[in-house]
Amino acid sequence: MPEALTLNQRIVLASRPTGAPTPENFRLERQALPDLADGQVLLKTLYLSLDPYMRGRMSDAPSYAAPVEIGEVMTGGAVSRVEHSLNPKFHAGDLVVGATGWQSHSISDGRNIMPVPSGLPSPSMALGVLGMPGMTAYMGLMDIGQPKAGETLVVAAASGAVGSVVGQVAKIKGLRVVGVAGGEKKCRYVVDELGFDACIDHKSARFAEELANACPDGIDIYYENVGGKVFDAVLPLLNPKARIPLCGLIASYNAHEAPTGPDQLPLLQRTVLTKRVRIQGFIVFDDYGDRQPEFVSAMAPWVRDGKVKFREDVVDGLENAPEAFIGLLEGRNFGKLVVRVAQAE
């Protein structure tokens, strides 16, 4: 095996954050990779996906998945190229996607990787609109949201990897779609480029009032990505039998103490009861992994035909992943955040 392929750069969890992650919580290491065993493949990472769920993996609080241990490589999905294969299912040059982590190279037995769909404008799209975020958007909306033409949907983080797809699919299904995003530029993109009916800037001092004005007939589906003050503004606007697919709560991911202010739980409970609201959390591959072909068969033609548009925010260099991830949790990215670790040849 060529010498250059045996040196792996990887970013490991150096310490657990208290509140917002800092660069000191990460450490860049170099290590020599072992020789391949029968059935294994050597992968070179091309694109690394950065996603909000990774913040939860940095903590050791109970969750749906085991935390990253101190000194372990940070978890994450990536598109990689097969450099060398001792597995008959994969050949040198194949592009694959899988949870191979924040590192320049990895060794796989083939069970955690699958081929990247052919014909994509960029293979990184397998991490976005045709990957985990796109499937999260589609399954949460279609299975839990149960959209019906003429209804009103509100989606938070509307310019992001999940929210942008939720809104566009809802428009295809005939709904009125109102996005929530941070800043005039993102809101303009959501309306002008993605075709939402309206987008409200959550940074506005009149946010709750502006959201209510954009939803004169109330809200039938609220696709929840953020929590916090956005949910507070949505709650009184929910219609009877509204549905809330609960995908994420990014507004509280860095919280390390109980929130201040009035206790909203009684109002939430009363609203859920009297309006018969359905709130359901989900973990996309745990709950819908067997329906991935259904998702791809629906989404791929929409992407190919331009009915679903997708924006990427690309950062170059594995060493820049920690700072990019910190920015993701602060809303600095614009579109699906990926790190270009190596050039696709």
pLDDT of residue 258: 58
pLDDT score of 9 more than 60: yes
pLDDT score of 39 more than 80: yes
pLDDT of residue 259: 61
Confidence band (pLDDT; 50, 70, 90) for 4? very low
pLDDT in tens, 198-237: 999 999 999 999 999 999 999 999 999 888 889 999 999 9
Mean pLDDT within 234-253: 86
Express as a percent the part of the chain with pLDDT over 70. 94
pLDDT score of 3 more than 60: no
Question: Residue 6 class from Cβ within 10 Å (0-12 exposed, 13-18 middle, 19+ buried)?
Answer: middle
Inter-residue contact 232 to 164 (CB < 8 Å): no
The two three-digit tokens of residue 339, written as one number: 């790190």
pLDDT of residue 264: 76
pLDDT of residue 151: 98
pLDDT in tens, 258-317: 566 677 788 888 888 989 999 999 988 888 888 988 998 999 899 988 899 999 999 999
SS3 6: helix
Mean pLDDT within 116-129: 88
Rounded CA-CA distance 78/135 in Å is 16
The two three-digit tokens of residue 39, written as one number: 């059935």
Q: How far is CA 154 from CA 197, 265, 296, in A?
A: 10, 21, 24
pLDDT score of 250 more than 70: no
pLDDT in tens, 130-150: 999 999 999 999 999 999 999
Confidence band (pLDDT; 50, 70, 90) for 26? very high
Inter-residue contact 220 to 151 (CB < 8 Å): yes
Task: Identify the DSSP state of 90.
Answer: -
Helix axis angle for 163-172 and 132-139, nearest 10°, is: 50
pLDDT of residue 266: 83
pLDDT score of 1 more than 50: no
pLDDT score of 185 more than 50: yes
Mean pLDDT within 40-64: 91
Q: Which domains does the chain have, with CATH numbers?
A: 7-128+311-340 (3.90.180.10), 132-285 (3.40.50.720)
Tell me the pLDDT of the chain averaged across its residues: 91
Rounded CA-CA distance 142/126 in Å is 20
Helix (H) or strand (E) holding 336: strand 336-340
Query: Could you give phi then psi for residue 225, rounded to 5 degrees?
Result: -120, -15
